[in-house]
Structure 1
Amino acid sequence: MRRIIPVAVLLGAACSDLISPTRVPPYEYRQFVSSGASGIDTLTFRWPRSFLPVRIWVADNEPLRQPILTAISRWQGALLFGEFRAELVSDSSRADVIVRNVPAPGGIGLSRIRLDALAPECIGATDIRTDGTLTQVILPMRVYIWPRFSPQNPNITTCYEITATHELGHVLGIISPNHSPDPGDVMFSNPVFNGLSDRDISTAEVVSHITPTLTPTGRR
């Protein structure tokens, strides 16, 4: 006897295949800090919907402008339900994130998280300032991306794209200082991959649905 499978069952299985892909395991996105005698505290961050789109400032005449736009497009495109949106603003005093094409300053204090990237031709750093209770991120965040050697290096534009995407991953909420352990991810500590890997996307999806321990404050 021939077995007849209802069309609805077949369609349901097909739809399930379309909407429930196997998720690639994320890498670590949290930051762990000492909390004195009580042990280790876990820090997590994501942007609340009320802060979207995130306001990013980069000078019109800086070579980072297009790489930052590329980075915004990549992360927005990876999060299909609008969990992260960002736009460039013309006034740095209204920015949630300030991007500069200069070396990061020294003298980082205890109330500041610094996350670095060391690509072949350029360096990146993101500074996230926190309050004394480690419950708030004090805006603006600051991103620095600058050449390791000559700014006329023929590969500098590609390096800026890679590093801008990496640093925007930190801005989004991937704040582990250990980064991804895989050089195939843009969030590897010494990034070489120009784009977003499946693990980058999977990690961003997880970050975008956590209950964060840090919330932004100080928007102007």
Structure 2
Amino acid sequence: MSQALKSHRKLYTKLRNMNAKYLIPLVLLGMWNCKQQNEKSVPDPISIDIEKPPKKSLEMERVAQYLGISPSDSVDFETQFHCWTIDENKNLDSVNISEAINLFKKITKTGKSNVYPIFGTDINNEVMIIMSNKGFGGNIRGTFLIDKNTLEIKKVEFDHVAESDGYGAAITLSDFENQFVGTKVNFATNTFGLKQNGKIAIPGSKIVDGISGATITSTLTVEMINDNLKKYEVFFQ
């Protein structure tokens, strides 16, 4: 091979290497520009805020369950309630669900109130009423479900603050509570009488058996029921 031909090949190789040296950065720059254009061409995602239904309080869910309303996130079941309040002087007022629930919370927490809520519903003729009284160790409370048309007691639940286990606390047992279910409210006299230790301690239309060893709690519970049912007469009639 001649010396001149060798010189030409060296020059060609040098030029080719130089082109590659500058070509690679240009290619990379072009790829980056393409990427930027593609990114700009893709629209930003659209953010849609979906309003969540308000969280239901435990008290509201408890009232709904007691009345037979099924809480659902897809249905505003609050609109199914009809609520009232009644005070110690038998004054009756219509209120919204929030006011009634706040009163229910207060009574559940303290067992004390001068005003009591009444909860009704569109789905049936039953209403839920609340009552409380001073017990042997603290406040006792009663929750009743009553048919507005027949005045029949459909459901009863008792609660207490500090009654003695094995004695006054037994008002929360179904054996005691069920004695009051199925009875028709009598506004003319005591709806319930009490039989304690084999004797009639309180006269009434329906005699229930008191709790053994808890004479005071049994008496105060039956007195609470009779006095409060008479108070609610203005609502039912």
For Structure 1 versus Structure 2, the TM-score category normalised by the shorter chain is: under 0.3
Flag the structure with more relative contact order, 1 or 2, with Cα contacts below 8 A and sequence separation at least 6: 1
> Of Structure 1 and Structure 2, which has the larger fraction of its residues in helix?
2
Q: Which one has a bigger Cα radius of gyration?
A: 2
Could you tell me the TM-score, scaled by structure 2's length?
A: 0.25
Could you tell me the TM-score, scaled by structure 1's length?
A: 0.26
